[in-house]
Structure 1
Amino acid sequence: MSTANQTSKPLEQYIHLLQEKKNIILQGAPGTGKTYTTASLAVRLGNPDFSELEDHTKVMEEYERLRKEGQIAFCTFHQSMDYEDFVEGVKPELQGEHITYNVEAGIFKQICKQARTTEEKDIIACIDDYLQKIRGYKNRREIPTISGKSKLLIWWEEGNKTISTRSTLSQITKGEQHSASPLNIEKVKARAIGEGVENNWPSYARAFIKAVKDEYHLEDEASTKPHILIIDEINRCNISRIFGELITLLEADKRTGSKIHPITVTLPYSKDSFSVPSNLYIIGTMNTTDRSTGSIDYAVRRRFAFITLKTDPEVIKTCIKDDKVRTKALAIFKQINGDGADDKASFIATHQAGDFDLEDLKVGHSYFIAETQEALQMKMCYEVIPLLREYIKDGILQGKKEDEKYFAAWAKGECLNPITSETSEATSDSEA
């Protein structure tokens, strides 16, 4: 079986899982290929016709193309990130000598908006068409307010830059066609696409936009083009706090377009109606050894499927072309990680401490991929050895007196032979 087929089979399984669940997290030890697998998943989902998944360069080129077109968005969670950064928040803006405060959409709200847009039924075009339907007072319509407790009369006089609106509860004193609360058309359009607000009558503007969406079934017709949000280091913050009330909307059956339990909420700052489109997919990544931050709670876990990526020496065999470098890289890999799951003599197995699984402690295969002997030595000196030292320092691995001998050998791109080392020491002692 070819490498491409070996790679594509699990990838297709992941794609199927992602299509069903909508949200997945790739977890594993550092260096197990989470970043590249994420890119491959996003490309394969974003462009089903792309077939060159075994070519790293072409995958990343296609990834960048989809990112520029807005189908892929990327962010990294960190401890100071919050709801206001991710969903929406009020941000100050200096205008001359004055400071104004505007509601700004975060990356999640932006990608949801991008996924919701359709080429056939653009909200701006729908507003223009709707204005023609309510042209003139005789074609006025009665629409519900956002609260649903009262109604509005709406109509448009051709040539006007405003939409005429009036509450059905208001007392008419200036003639039947008087509008006490006109809506600026351009500002209504800006609000509809999330790029501005109608300041004078915001609740009426929202009611008008909802009426247009209901008229053209826009809330029920999310684009079928897949959009992907990648969240790197998803466990390095409080996910429940960042998503807030939107955590429920992540479920597949709660999304717009679902025929089961679609849910819409009102956002706290903009007061916009908000839902998560069914064509948005979330891919998170997390290192299983990273316990410096809070763990993922059960409410979040229920909404994600978890895929564990393991260390794989076959990747090293495939990626390193030079026979000598490949042989040495594989030898060090096996000395550190073991030759299979049952190998208890490896460096990791003999140094295991705490409650970590053995697989979580292994050094990922990407740390061993090098084109030359010098490159392999550099990776050992500046990546692998420092990583293992950090594990020992944090108590993830238990330190032992012979560790420095291992590190010295690996820094030279070689395996440590304990028997040879012990014999050499004994000979040296007897000569002394």
Structure 2
Amino acid sequence: MLTDTPQQPLIERIRDIDHPEAIRRFFGLLKELIDIVNLPNGDARLAFTVRQEKTSIIANINFFQALRIQKPRRGEVEYHLTIKKSCYDRLKNIEEWVFEPLTEKSDYLAVIIGQSSVHLLANPTLHTCWEDCLLELVESNKRGPHSARHNADVYRAAEDDAFQSEVIRLADDPTLGDRILNGYNVEEPEGEYTTEPELPNQPHNLILFGPPGTGKTFALQPYLRGKNARPGLASLITFHPSYSYEEFVEGIRPEVMNGQITYKINKGIFYKACLSAIQKAGYGTLADCLHDSPENRSQKLKKAPPHYLLIDEVNRANVASVFGDLITLLETDKRLGAENELWLTLPYSRESFGVPLNLFVIATMNTTDRSIALLDIALRRRFSFREMLPDPTMLSTIDGVDLAQLLRTINERIEYLLDRDHQIGHAYLTNIETHADLCTAFRDRIIPLLQEYFFNEWPKIQLVLGDNPAWGKEPDHRLVWVKKKYTAGAASKLFGEMPDSIDEVITYEINPNLQQGEFEQIPAEAFIKIYQKV
């Protein structure tokens, strides 16, 4: 059974316009429009439409045309930006653009710019007039002649670069036919068709934790670029120490417009991920979802496809502060559509808000940054944890060096001297194909990591690498050398007098041949003898 979707008319209009550069520029303008009006996808005041008879894509605010791209039957691609009539005198001196009233009695004009004059889109006066007009249209209670249906994929193409690239690519595919259906359509027998997707067999809230290089971030890739991944399937964010609730959910951001400071409520990635999830259940907005009956809401959200929020380096931020009062809503039985569903009122917009049942939160956590034991107890109770440890079986033998045994030995020594959270992941030694690659990995990645782990404790680094004298390596084969031993006499000679400290001082350095890239001077035995005692 073939099913029509909003993507098909969007892709067909992009194909009709037949100018990828112009399409990308239009979506860039549309992204500016979305940021200026600060309205979510599905808001009743927005109507993003595609029109076959006009070969155009249009953004409407309160049913007034605000932005348009069009390819006339004859001539070049055109951009239409709506301004107030009062701006006409400020713009009339430029001959390359044309003015056209939206309607006979309208208070607004469309400034029409052809593709050959596309540089005029950067005109600061035009941009200011367009911005002022957009803000006025948002507040307008008037209704113009437009009544077409909103196409949510136009909004998504402006916000999601990956989705935008995909629809432009599909528009350029001459074999497209009827294959499009939120990615691709397939023809199935009538009796085997089902509307209920198979939900992921995993916790709603999951943290993948482990030492660096164990493939935690790589485990997120199937949701973004796997063979079954589709545009809009997942949202990705990387936390950092200054990340806040205002960036994650919603907050007020100051902006300067026409020399005046204005304040807008901006939605964060968590809010947008929740919105994407409920839109997959057929709702336009969170308000639509909350106003539905509990029975309908539960049925729709349980049948809806999943949406994933992927959080890399979750423990680098103050997680309790970032999630704030939403931490309770993450629980599976408290989500919208669940048995004990809850929602709350957001502090800035005063909107009602809940976390839908088809949203899955998957995060990664580097245990060298912070132990699980130090995480907020409320977060630990609401998330499932899955440890990802180094996997030596993924490594091979290079130039006689058994990389798997090398990694096991190094990690056993690190675990003894520090703890298991500071082991080295197999990713540090994957993609090693030559002796030079191995030398480069130790010089640029592994030894600097050990320096961070054992700050100023070079004897411990030597123990990890088998460079301590008792292990039996030839001095020239050691990766970390003793640079100099200072006895009392040597110290007096260096300073002219005896320093306060009379202890013997030893300084260290990395093997100069390794440091300077003279890898042919570093024999394979330097690595073999890390795990194999003489």
TM class, shorter-length: 0.5 to 0.7
Q: Which residue of 2 aligns with 1:152?
A: none
Q: Does 1:387 align with 2:444?
A: no
Q: Distance in 2 between matches of 1:303 and 1:61?
A: 27
Provide Cα deviations, 1:118-139, integer angstroms capped at 9, x if missing partner.
36x443xxxxxxxxxxxxxxxx
Q: Which residue of 2 aligns with 1:133?
A: none
Q: Which residue of 1 aligns with 2:378?
A: 299
Q: SS where residue 316 of structure 2 aligns?
A: coil
| Offset of residue 386 of structure 1 | 0.6
Q: How is 1:51-200 mapped onto 2 (pairs within 5 angstroms)?
A: 60=225, 62=227, 66=230, 69-118=231-280, 121-123=282-284, 192=285
Q: Normalising by structure 2, what TM-score? A: 0.47
Q: Point out the more displaced range, 274-283 or 31-40.
A: 31-40
- In terms of fraction of residues, the more strand-rich structure is 2
Q: Distance in 2 between matches of 1:419 and 1:267?
A: 57
Q: How is 1:13-412 mapped onto 2 (pairs within 5 angstroms)?
A: 19=201, 21-40=203-222, 42=223, 60=225, 62=227, 66=230, 69-118=231-280, 121-123=282-284, 192=285, 213-214=292-293, 217=296, 221-222=300-301, 224-259=304-339, 261-291=340-370, 295-317=374-396, 323-325=397-399, 327-338=401-412, 347-349=413-415, 352-353=417-418, 356=419, 359-369=420-430, 370-393=432-455, 398-399=460-461, 402=467, 405-407=478-480, 411=514, 412=522
Q: SS where residue 94 of structure 1 aligns?
A: strand
Q: Distance in 2 between matches of 1:293 and 1:110?
A: 28
| Offset of residue 226 of structure 1 | 0.9
Residue type of the partner of 1:86? F
Provide Cα deviations, 1:337-359, integer angstroms capped at 9, x if missing partner.
24xxxxxxxx3255x14xx3xx3
Q: Contact 1:235 / 1:294 at 8 angstroms: preserved in 2?
A: no
Q: Contact 1:236 / 1:293 at 8 angstroms: preserved in 2?
A: no
Q: Contact 2:273 / 2:309 at 8 angstroms: preserved in 1?
A: yes
CA separation of 1:288 and 1:397: change in aligned 2, threshold 3 A: farther
Q: Distance in 1 between matches of 2:331 and 2:290?
A: 26
Q: Distance in 2 between matches of 1:24 and 1:247?
A: 14
CA separation of 1:387 and 1:258: change in aligned 2, threshold 3 A: same
Q: Distance in 2 between matches of 1:28 and 1:109?
A: 28
Q: Which residue of 1 aligns with 2:529?
A: 417
Residue type of the partner of 2:425? G
Provide Cα deviations, 1:146-178, integer angstroms capped at 9, x if missing partner.
xxxxxxxxxxxxxxxxxxxxxxxxxxxxxxxxx
CA RMSD of aligned residues (A): 3.6
| Offset of residue 36 of structure 1 | 1.2
Q: Which residue of 2 aligns with 1:132?
A: none
Q: Contact 2:212 / 2:366 at 8 angstroms: preserved in 1?
A: yes
Percent identical across equivalent pairs?
34
Q: Contact 1:331 / 1:415 at 8 angstroms: preserved in 2?
A: no
CA separation of 1:396 and 1:22: change in aligned 2, threshold 3 A: farther
CA separation of 1:420 and 1:387: change in aligned 2, threshold 3 A: closer
CA separation of 1:274 and 1:327: change in aligned 2, threshold 3 A: same
Q: Contact 2:238 / 2:311 at 8 angstroms: preserved in 1?
A: yes
Q: Contact 1:88 / 1:104 at 8 angstroms: preserved in 2?
A: yes
Q: Distance in 1 between matches of 2:436 and 2:384?
A: 40
Q: SS where residue 394 of structure 2 aligns?
A: helix
Q: Which of the pair has the greater relative contact order for Cα pairs under 8 Å at 6+ separation?
A: 1
| Offset of residue 400 of structure 1 | 5.3
Q: Distance in 1 between matches of 2:444 and 2:248?
A: 34
CA separation of 1:399 and 1:61: change in aligned 2, threshold 3 A: closer
Q: SS where residue 221 of structure 1 aligns?
A: helix
| Offset of residue 236 of structure 1 | 1.1
Stretches of structure 2 lacking an aligned partner (at least 5 in a row): 1-197, 469-474, 481-509, 515-521
CA separation of 1:384 and 1:80: change in aligned 2, threshold 3 A: same
Residue type of the partner of 2:527? C
| Offset of residue 391 of structure 1 | 0.4
CA separation of 1:394 and 1:282: change in aligned 2, threshold 3 A: farther
Provide Cα deviations, 1:226-251, integer angstroms capped at 9, x if missing partner.
11111111111211111111000000
CA separation of 1:18 and 1:389: change in aligned 2, threshold 3 A: farther
CA separation of 1:327 and 1:271: change in aligned 2, threshold 3 A: same
Q: Distance in 2 between matches of 1:282 and 1:376?
A: 36
Q: Contact 2:294 / 2:337 at 8 angstroms: preserved in 1?
A: no
Residue type of the partner of 1:100? T
Q: Contact 1:87 / 1:108 at 8 angstroms: preserved in 2?
A: yes
Q: Normalising by structure 1, what TM-score? A: 0.58
Residue type of the partner of 1:393? F
Q: Contact 2:311 / 2:361 at 8 angstroms: preserved in 1?
A: yes
Q: Distance in 1 between matches of 2:451 and 2:289?
A: 58
Residue type of the partner of 1:376? L
Stretches of structure 1 lacking an aligned partner (at least 5 in a row): 1-15, 44-59, 124-191, 194-205, 318-322, 339-346, 423-432
CA separation of 1:34 and 1:83: change in aligned 2, threshold 3 A: same
Q: Contact 2:254 / 2:263 at 8 angstroms: preserved in 1?
A: yes
Q: Distance in 2 between matches of 1:286 and 1:213?
A: 37
Q: Distance in 2 between matches of 1:396 and 1:238?
A: 33
Provide Cα deviations, 1:304-337, integer angstroms capped at 9, x if missing partner.
11111111111113xxxxx534744234323312
| Offset of residue 387 of structure 1 | 0.4
